[in-house]
Amino acid sequence: MAGRTGAKVDQIICTVDVVLLTLKEDQLMVALLKRNREPYKNVLALPGGYIHAEDMDARDAALRVLKDKTGIDTPYLEQLATFSGPARDPRGWSVSIAYYALVSIDVIEKSGHPDVALKSVDQPLNLPFDHKTIVDTAVARLRSKSQYSSLPCYLAGENFTLPQLQRVYEVLMGESLNKVSFRRKMTEMDMLEPVEGAFTSTGAHRPAQLYQLKPEFRRQLTLLERGL
């Protein structure tokens, strides 16, 4: 590379893209939208868009794009990585600053956006640009972080029982967890509180206490010293 005498790319296409993940029937799903313009018009892709002059930063642009295109306000959105190159977009040298967001399936269903398509990340996904790589990177990040953080809680909905939360962790980590040790870790993270007077009533079972994230953890991760 030494001695390359190249010229600056005059106009880089700079966008934000959002990998919105949710759990539906124990499947990790990604939210896709049909593109409303070329290239790849009418093809399912990640929600994304250009940065606007009034965005405070790329994160702000990602939140705006997600809200505008899917109706969803997400409590948790984090920068994933930036993907770039001369060939990933047919229009020219491009940069996508990618974010990932986690919401429970309730949030997607309540938003009632008719165009949001949920696809399992474990099925083959045929996506334009390098969106498949972006999705794979987000899923790997989520699965790895699930081992030592509160991240999976964002997929569990507003209220959940401890067995429901354990199931979310198990789906993300791809393994069964010991109930006693799972509960000890949740106590250690100190991020849950019981919802006063709220219990499930599920037929034959004893009613189970419902929990929620403590307010200070609803928009901020907590980490475990040692993994689950």
* Contact residues: a second copy, CB under 8 A: 1-2, 4, 6-9, 11-12, 14, 50-58, 60, 63-64, 67-68, 79, 81-86, 93, 95, 97, 225-227
On whether the CB atoms of residues 221 and 150 are closer than 8 A, the answer is yes
Rounded CA gap, 162 and 76, in Å? 21
Name which of 60 and 170 has its Cβ closer to a second copy. 60
Name which of 120 and 220 has its Cβ closer to a second copy. 220
In whole angstroms, how close is the CB of 70 to a second copy at the nearest point?
12
Rounded CA gap, 128 and 184, in Å? 43
Residue carrying structure tokens 């990640």: 46
Name which of 96 and 212 has its Cβ closer to a second copy. 96
Residues in contact with 76: Cβ distance below 8 Å, sequence separation at least 6, in sequence order: 101, 102, 103, 151, 154, 219, 221
Going by C-alpha positions, the residue among 85, 98, 99 that lies closest to residue 12 is 85
In whole angstroms, how close is the CB of 24 to a second copy at the nearest point?
25
In whole angstroms, how close is the CB of 172 to a second copy at the nearest point?
18
Name which of 8 and 206 has its Cβ closer to a second copy. 8
In whole angstroms, how close is the CB of 14 to a second copy at the nearest point?
4
